[in-house]
Amino acid sequence: MAVSVSDQFLEFRGELDAKHDKWERLVKISRDITVESKRTIFVLHRVDILSPDRESRSKIISEAESKIASLSKKWRQIAIELHNDDARLFLRAYSPGLQEYIEALAFLYYLRHESDFTINSISGCVIPPGNIEKNLCFRSEDDDNTMSIPIPATEFLLGIADTTGEIMRLCINAAAKATTRQSKNQVYKLSAFIRLLHEMFSTFANIVEDSSLRRNILQGKLDVMRSSLHKVEECCYQLGIRDSELLDAALRRSHHSAETE
């Protein structure tokens, strides 16, 4: 039996309405994830990178981990929405939440492993994609299959790029309080991390395979990273100038004291 044109259009309308409804649900969940991820980042900024008090840092990190764990329910909702659908069709609906979530996880990972960072190796402080994928993999209650939320390479890079801004804030705050050689070295270490991360992204931005729009967004993130790098380098420069001025003042006092004697 032939289907009338009006019936076909009714069917199409139903499919479009279902897609739009799903899109709106994903946007709302993504918005909640974005808010909670930002709150996690705010918690992590309470860490005093110069303090030797590891117990205080451990408590703050544990609080941030609890916030991250609480987001599992939200991500499960997204996984259910995307199950048996092409996730690429809905990526832009939950992309803001995904990027903010990656940023929060990456910042947490850095604070956990920053002692492993050396000037020649950045890998120990950058969260592997597999760690994030593990957090976004769930078991379906209906058919016992695995539901996973894909993380496109560009989304991962965009989330990691945002972490540079958080490290920049750590660096500037630390520089304002740095007085000992050890604390100043910590500031220089943060600056070196941002510099290496920027160098990595300068390469990735040119080879990533994605739509022109996403590449342009990645290029915009690279510009922000460059701005953050300039800020921390200026901060380190001022720190070096301050050291020189203090040294000159000490030498002048010593010279004056010798002349007086």
The answer to whether 214 and 222 have CB atoms below 8 angstroms apart is: no
Q: What is the mean pLDDT of residues 117-122?
A: 65
- CA angle centred on 116, ends 114 and 121, rounded to 5°: 105
pLDDT-derived band at 123 (thresholds 50, 70, 90) equals: low
CB atoms within 10 A of CB 247: 10
Task: Assign domain 153-261 one CATH number from 2.60.120.380, 3.40.50.300, 1.20.58.340, 3.30.40.10.
Answer: 1.20.58.340
Instruction: Calculate the average pLDDT of the chain.
Output: 84
Q: What is the mean pLDDT of residues 32-59?
A: 93
The answer to whether 74 and 29 have CB atoms below 8 angstroms apart is: yes
147 strand-pairing partners: 138
- Poorest-confidence range of 93-107, 167-181, 239-253? 239-253
Residue 256 pLDDT > 70 = no
Residue 15 pLDDT > 50 = yes
pLDDT digits over 174-203, tens only?
Answer: 888 888 888 888 888 888 889 888 888 877
Residue 62 pLDDT > 60 = yes
Q: What is the pLDDT of residue 205?
A: 63
Q: For residue 99, what are the contacts with CB-CB under 8 A and spacing of at least 6?
A: 155, 158, 159, 162
Q: What is the pLDDT of residue 220?
A: 84
Return the closest-CA partner of residue 149 out of 129, 167, 163. 129
pLDDT digits over 202-248, tens only?
Answer: 777 666 655 666 667 888 888 888 999 999 988 888 887 866 655 44
Would you state the structure tokens that stand for residue 110, as one six-digit string? Answer: 């850095």
Amino acid in the structure at residue 205: A
Q: What is the pLDDT of residue 251?
A: 46
Q: How far apart are CA 47 and CA 57, in angstroms?
A: 6
Would you state the structure tokens that stand for residue 253, as one six-digit string? Answer: 């006092």
- Domain 153-261 in the same topology as domain 8-151: yes
Q: How far apart are CA 71 and CA 108, in angstroms?
A: 15
pLDDT-derived band at 140 (thresholds 50, 70, 90) equals: confident
Q: What's the fold here for domain 8-151?
A: Methane Monooxygenase Hydroxylase; Chain G, domain 1 (1.20.58)
Domain positions in the chain are 8-151, 153-261
- Poorest-confidence range of 12-26, 96-110, 208-222? 208-222
Maximum average pLDDT range among 50-64, 113-127, 131-145, 195-209: 50-64
